[in-house]
Amino acid sequence: MQKKRVEVAVGVIEKAQQIFVCLRGEDQHQGGLWEFPGGKMEAGEDVFSALKRELQEEVGIEIYNSSELMRIEHDYADKAVCLYIHHVEDFSGEAHGAEGQPSKWVAVEQLHELAFPEANKAIVELLQARQN
Ligand SMILES: Nc1nc2c([nH]c(=O)n2[C@H]2C[C@H](O)[C@@H](COP(=O)(O)OP(=O)(O)OP(=O)(O)O)O2)c(=O)[nH]1
Ligand SMILES: [Mg+2]
């Protein structure tokens, strides 16, 4: 049976050449790995609206603008996802793990040292390539 592809809005939040990442809960899909915060888009929602809602809930920031970085379709063994990855630099508030999850700011050049879900490899590559 074909797996349903879940559409996800993902935010690469950047401030002073650092990127904000959160640790996914052990009970979540791809748990125990780092993520760029975000979440599933609801029916009829555009990427920016979903991102605005998710980043408010998960990270406690208000975003005003975002720009598309890339789109990734990835098939995990148990789930197919389509990640709509946006760059977020225009926001207010202090990013933190608003749902109690561990979080941190990481220099772009150190992103590859973190354990991310497989789909994220291309994001890390793009961010690091942009630096050079
Ligand atoms: N947020 C996020 N999700 C990612 C990343 N990489 C990746 O493969 N995913 C996958 C894992 C999940 O299957 C899906 C995102 O789901 P999510 O758990 O963030 O969704 P959500 O915030 O709406 O969570 P929930 O309320 O359903 O628990 O996308 C990433 O960098 N960030
Ligand atoms: Mg989420």
Whether the per-residue pLDDT at 1 is higher than 90: the answer is no
Proximal ligand: closest to the CA of 97: 2
pLDDT in tens, 94-111: 999 999 999 999 999 999
Q: How far apart are CA 132 and CA 123, in angstroms?
A: 15
| Residue type at 131 in one-letter notation | Q
The mean pLDDT value for 46-72 works out to 98
Whether the per-residue pLDDT at 83 is higher than 70: the answer is yes
Whether the per-residue pLDDT at 59 is higher than 80: the answer is yes
Q: How far apart are CA 24 and CA 30, in angstroms?
A: 7
Task: Give yes or no for residue 40 CB within 6 A of ligand 1.
Answer: yes
pLDDT of residue 4: 80
Whether the per-residue pLDDT at 132 is higher than 80: the answer is no
pLDDT of residue 76: 97
Proximal ligand: closest to the CA of 37: 1
Token pair, residue 75, equals 């098939």
**ipTM computed for the complex:** 0.95
* Domain ranges within the chain, ordered by starting residue: 5-131
**Protein residue whose Cα sits closest to atom 28 of ligand 1:** 28
CA dist 97 → 2, 19, 26, 54, 106 (Å): 34, 14, 15, 12, 14
Annotation-wise, does 37 bind a ligand? yes
pLDDT of residue 131: 84
Q: Which residue(s) pair with 82 in the sheet?
A: 7, 73
Task: Give yes or no for residue 39 CB within 6 A of ligand 1.
Answer: yes
User: What percentage of the chain exceeds 90 in pLDDT?
Assistant: 95
Kindly report the number of other CB atoms within 10 A of residue 88's CB atom.
29
> What distance in angstroms lies between residue 17's CA and the mean position of ligand 1's atoms?
24
> What distance in angstroms lies between residue 1's CA and the mean position of ligand 2's atoms?
26
> How many separate helices (H) and strands (E) can be counted in the chain?
2, 9
For residue 97, the SS3 value is coil
pLDDT in tens, 9-51: 999 999 999 999 999 999 999 999 999 999 999 999 999 999 9
Annotation-wise, does 35 bind a ligand? yes
Domain 5-131 has CATH 3.90.79.10: yes
Annotation-wise, does 20 bind a ligand? no
pLDDT of residue 30: 96
